[in-house]
Amino acid sequence: MEPLDYDRDPRVRGPFETLALLGQGGMGRAYLARRLLLEGWDGSWETAYRIADADAVSMGEDSLAVLKTIRTELLTDEDARKVERNRARFVAEVDAIRTVVGPRIPAFLGAAPEAAEPWLAMEYIAGPSLDTQVKQGGPITDVGAWAALGLGLVEALESVHGAGLLHRDLKPGNVVLGPNGPVVLDFGLAVLAERQDFSNALTKTGWALGTPAFMPWEQYEDSKHVKASADVYAIGSTLFFTAAGRTPYTGAPAPWAPDWKDVPAAFLPLLGRLFASTEAQRPQLPDVRQELSAMLARNGLSYEAAAQRLADIVAAAHLTPRLPAKAISEGPDPEVREQAQRAVDHGAAPDAPWLDDGLFDELSPDVDLDLDGEANVVPHDDAHSAPYTPTVPDQGEAQTDQLAPPGPTRMYSTKTTDPAQKSARPMPPADPAAESRRRPVVPRSAFKVAERLRRAYAHSGSL
């Protein structure tokens, strides 16, 4: 863990205070964070931050979390399509973490992917990554500990696949050896199995997405069309690394068996099947579970005894990250709590914008929609324009007690009470094309405003 630099690192995101930097990658940065108990928490906040588990809402003040953010430059690119794609990938990760529930998956705690500076929070698992454990503590060749690790990975992927998802990036760096065994992290590349053929999928045909050293050959060639067997292969490559202390291949994967040097003979039958180059030849998750359980039985070990062996190896290495003093302090700074309270109450920084001043611009009567559905605002005539009084005070402006009197409401009706006028009105010709042109067309901007209103309401019950 590294200390925070507040020139670039946030102090709060939603109801979470950041405490230390855990790491960073191509998409963003991950922080150790602490849940803040704020005033007025209700169902609207739960909707706003996508919190579905009541137990997560009732976490204690000092409950720790991992908070992930997107790198600023990925959201400020001049190419709007790139920005949209980066946000879409982040939203996909949020949805994946919310969907997958299991003892080997960290609990989802909240997210605001539509905020100006998006974030998501999940349960913090105290323990070293499998990558760190093997590189600094040495390979794990004890049969019981190795099999217990494998069973934990199987259980995690059963939760992922049971939710209709593929992980696509299982590797030692995404496995944490926590107090209750292995936990699988990072759903940034997770994908709905039945949606891989969508034209707007984040992964395109022929693209390799994931970590080459741990992915099968077919994923290296085309990540879009991989199946559950690719995740099964990743169990094999992760267990290979655990036992040998090295990756199966140097760099990219290969469609042939790896060098089995340094791998205990007891592990070879299962690993050989997991590394099958043909997807159909690989075992399925229930088969892997059965073989690992049989391995324990042949060595006279129960799962509990094997899991304890793994826990003892992790404890002896003393590689669990040490928490910063701030994480075990009595509580957050009052200024930090106040900043978080403003953010969740009124959409203030850093969670803005969901109460921006232009929320209703697209539906203004002085807006002329062009052919692309974009809004072109026509200037007001000062002699006839009324002062703007927001329902919710504008950010940075004081709320006034005097409200402008409401203007007259114009009611429109297609009915008439004058029979003469009704009979004198000419009937239009029965022209299907003309009829089609007269049908009301809902502009795209109206849908945008509807979505923004939904978000705004979710973040503030005062709207």
Output the tens digit of pLDDT for each of the chain's 463 residues: 899 998 889 898 888 899 999 988 777 899 999 988 877 665 566 666 666 554 444 455 558 999 999 888 888 888 888 888 888 888 887 888 888 889 999 998 888 888 888 898 999 999 999 999 999 999 999 999 999 999 999 999 999 999 888 888 899 999 999 999 999 987 755 554 444 433 334 444 333 455 788 988 888 887 677 889 999 999 999 999 999 999 999 888 888 899 999 999 999 999 999 999 888 999 999 999 999 999 999 999 999 999 999 999 999 999 999 998 888 876 788 888 888 888 777 665 555 544 444 444 444 444 443 434 343 333 434 434 333 333 333 333 333 334 343 443 333 334 444 444 444 444 555 555 555 455 555 555 565 556 555 555 544 444 4
CA distances (Å), 84 to each of 81, 117, 200, 350, in order? 5, 14, 11, 20
Q: 169, 186, 345, 351: which one is catalytic?
A: 169
CB neighbour class for 360 (10 Å; exposed up to 12, middle 13-18, buried from 19) = middle
**Residues of each domain in the chain carrying CATH 3.30.200.20:** 12-125+335-346
Let me know: does 19 contact 11? Beta carbons within 8 Å.
Answer: no
Reference 170, options 88, 244, 269, 104; nearest CA is 104
Reference 216, options 258, 155, 246, 260; nearest CA is 258
The helix (run of H) or strand (run of E) holding residue 111 is strand 108-111
**Residues of each domain in the chain carrying CATH 1.10.510.10:** 130-317
Let me know: does 189 contact 167? Beta carbons within 8 Å.
Answer: yes
CATH fold for the domain made of 130-317: Transferase(Phosphotransferase); domain 1 (1.10.510)
Taken in order 224, 227, 228, 230, the sign of the CA dihedral is: negative
CA distances (Å), 139 to each of 176, 239, 260, 262, in order? 15, 10, 14, 10
End-to-end CA distance of the chain: 41
Active site residue 169: yes
| Rounded Cα gap, residues 337 and 12, in angstroms | 8
Domain 12-125+335-346 has CATH 2.40.50.100: no
* Phi/psi of residue 68, nearest 5 degrees: -110, 140
pTM over 0.75: no
Residue 373 confidence (pLDDT) = 38
